[in-house]
Amino acid sequence: MRAALALIILRVKGDKMKKEQKTRKKTKILPVVGSLVFFTGAILLMPKIIDLVSDIIYQKSSLPTGPSEDNWGPEIVKKKKELGD
């Protein structure tokens, strides 16, 4: 009878130990997997985000400041004929 109880206790303890080992493995693996997922997401998304933000900043900074900024070309003036010539 005692031997049977001892086997049952060992089996229960063994099952608990296996579960604890699995949870230990999970607690060690999950941060690594999460870091890899975060890193690959950053690699894929950051170039797109940088391009989008830089385009927005460039468009805001390249807007003309006023109507006088656009008129830098040469001025064409017609000569008037003098009456005395």
| The pLDDT of residue 4 | 72
pTM higher than the cut 0.85 = no
Q: Are 64 and 70 in contact (CB under 8 A)?
A: yes
Residue span of the structural domain in which 22 resides:
9-61
Q: How does pLDDT run across 22-68, given as a tens digit for each residue? A: 777 777 888 899 999 999 999 999 999 999 999 999 888 876 655 56
Of 50, 48, 46, 47, residue with least CA distance to 38: 46
Q: Per the domain annotation, does 16 fall within a domain?
A: yes
Q: Per the domain annotation, does 32 fall within a domain?
A: yes
Number of folded domains that form the chain: 1
